[in-house]
């Protein structure tokens, strides 16, 4: 489904080239549930941004199915991003001017989901995340963990084909974190491809494959026994 070939990403400083990702070669099949681990600064978020079509400043090739990302028109790339991906950000990236309800609704509006269906999907998610009473509040009125839950609800509301999750449970207590992983497991069982970056080893056990990044390179890549 996704193929990265020899991806390099670097920044030019005055005297040298500093690599953030180096020689990333990665094939992801539809339906995989991959966990990216590795020290802070290893390049996990950078790699997720590239996978999610949020960063185009790199060398090497990215194929999504048959499509070479670099050769796509901007509009097609944007449609691919909005139509196929759900993204849970390390820093939540909620829209400040929209309420909790409206934030969760955004991907559904893009996907032309009917208003009745939107209401029911959002009501389900609010209920599931214990946020019904917060639906008309704005992100600034929520705790960090609550903002993270809204970010998760928004990313999964539109049933994306590929879910990218950057430290999705970083601000949650362990029971909530486990609940989120159970939700990921369900989505995976329904066929969603998931790629998550995390520092929590126990989160990896919900997935099918563990990749560790160190200094911008893939150090290990192994299957997780279920
Ligand atoms: N726009 C940028 N300009 C310069 N350096 C950058 C930029 N973006 C990322 N970096 C650097 O690239 C490296 C990898 O960053 P990245 O955010 O991908 O790490 P990470 O593995 O997600 O770490 P963490 O576990 O802390 O989230 C870091 O050293 C970071 O400082
Ligand atoms: Mg990161």
Ligand 1 near 40 CB (within 6 A):
yes
Ligand 1 near 44 CB (within 6 A):
yes
Query: What residue ranges define each of the domains in the chain, with the CATH number in brackets?
Result: 2-223 (3.40.50.300)
Q: How many whole angstroms separate alpha carbon 33 and alpha carbon 28?
A: 9
Residue nearest to atom 8 of ligand 1 (CA): 46
Of ligand 1's listed atoms, the one at least distance from the Cα of 216 is 14
Lay out the sheet containing 85-88: strands in order across: 85-88, 162-166, 193-197, 33-37, 209-214, 217-223
Residues 91-104: tens digit of each pLDDT: 778 999 999 999 99
Does an H or E element contain 110, and which? helix 100-110
CA dihedral of 131, 134, 137, 138, whole degrees rounded to 10? -20
Predicted pLDDT of residue 3: 98
Ligand 1 near 43 CB (within 6 A):
yes
Ligand 1 near 13 CB (within 6 A):
no
Residue nearest to atom 26 of ligand 1 (CA): 40
Predicted pLDDT of residue 173: 87
Predicted pLDDT of residue 225: 83
Of ligand 1's listed atoms, the one at least distance from the Cα of 167 is 27
Q: Pocket of ligand 1, candidates 44, 52, 54: which has the most ligand atoms within 8 Å of its Cβ, to mutate?
A: 44
Reading the chain (226 residues) residue by residue, the pLDDT tens digits are: 999 999 999 998 888 999 999 999 999 999 999 999 999 999 999 999 999 999 999 999 999 999 999 999 999 999 999 999 999 988 778 999 999 999 999 999 988 899 999 999 999 999 999 999 999 999 999 988 899 999 999 999 999 999 999 999 988 888 889 989 999 999 999 999 999 999 999 999 999 999 999 999 999 999 998 7
Q: Pocket of ligand 1, candidates 46, 56, 57: which has the most ligand atoms within 8 Å of its Cβ, to mutate?
A: 46
Q: How many whole angstroms separate alpha carbon 57 and alpha carbon 82?
A: 19
Residues 106-143: tens digit of each pLDDT: 999 988 899 999 999 999 999 999 999 999 999 999 98
Cα Rg for the chain, rounded, in angstroms?
18
Q: How many whole angstroms separate alpha carbon 146 and alpha carbon 75?
A: 33
Predicted pLDDT of residue 49: 95
Q: How far is the CA of 126 from the centre of ligand 1 (A)?
A: 32
CA quadruple 162, 167, 170, 174: dihedral positive or negative? positive
- Is the pTM here over 0.75, yes or no? yes
> From the CA of 24, which ligand is nearest?
1
Predicted pLDDT of residue 15: 85
Q: How far is the CA of 40 from the centre of ligand 1 (A)?
A: 8
User: Average model confidence (pLDDT) for the chain?
Assistant: 94
């Amino acid at each position: 489904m996704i193929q990265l070939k020899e991806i390099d990403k670097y920044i030019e400083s005055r005297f040298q080239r500093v690599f953030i990702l180096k020689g990333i070669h990665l094939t992801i099949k539809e339906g995989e549930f991959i966990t990216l681990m590795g020290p802070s600064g290893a390049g996990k978020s950078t790699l997720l941004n590239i996978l999610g079509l949020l960063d185009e400043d790199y060398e090497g090739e990215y194929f999504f199915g048959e499509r070479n990302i670099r050769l796509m028109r901007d509009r097609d790339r944007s449609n691919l991003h909005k139509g196929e991906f759900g993204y849970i950000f390390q820093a939540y990236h909620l829209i400040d001017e929209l309420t909790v309800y409206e934030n969760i609704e955004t991907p559904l509006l893009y996907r032309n989901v009917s208003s009745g269906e939107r209401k029911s999907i959002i009501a389900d998610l609010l209920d599931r995340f214990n946020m019904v009473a917060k639906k008309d509040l704005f992100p600034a009125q929520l705790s960090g963990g609550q903002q993270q839950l809204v970010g998760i609800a928004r990313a999964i509301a539109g049933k994306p084909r590929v879910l990218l999750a950057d430290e999705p449970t970083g601000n949650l207590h362990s029971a909530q974190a486990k609940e989120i992983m159970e939700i990921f497991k369900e989505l995976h069982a329904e066929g969603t491809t998931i790629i998550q970056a995390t520092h929590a080893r126990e989160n990896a056990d919900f997935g099918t494959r563990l990749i560790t990044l160190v200094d911008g390179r893939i150090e290990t890549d192994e299957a997780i026994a279920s």
